Amino acid sequence: MKEGAWIVAGDGRWTWMTEHATWLQVPEHARDLGLSDEAVRRIQTIQWDFNGSGREAICLEGMRHGLIRFRGHGAYVTFESVLPLETVLRATAAFMKSQFGPLTAIRINRLDTGEAWAGLFPDIKARVVQ
């Protein structure tokens, strides 16, 4: 799997895209994910740069407003956010159930604290995916 998505922590809905920061800089996209007008304005003022501090700042701004970044990396996937790991597990449960098989390796990174969790989909399915 080599896909990208933003997942809304509040209700679990998601949208696919190719590059997280440039996609989020489109005001209609950010508003569709529930970001406030103020958050949209802040994101618009950040200069995007390929794999640089601007791109990171755009993504973090979205995460501060309840978004979870998902990226597939072939044999494994990652979720990134600034939310507690348990919150991310619960918020992404429907997404995982619809997208992952039993051998999907998952890593969840909490960017503001450095906490991380990693395991296979069956390791968490019984905990959070109903």
Q: Are 9 and 91 a contacting pair, CB within 8 Å?
A: yes
3-state secondary structure of 7: strand
Q: What pLDDT score does 1 carry?
A: 54
Q: What pLDDT score does 61 carry?
A: 97
Segments of the chain scoring below 50 in pLDDT: 130
Q: What pLDDT score does 60 carry?
A: 97
Give me the residue spans of the domains in the chain: 4-128
Q: What pLDDT score does 2 carry?
A: 64
CA–centroid distance for 19 within its chain? 12
Q: Are 20 and 69 a contacting pair, CB within 8 Å?
A: yes
Q: What pLDDT score does 74 carry?
A: 85
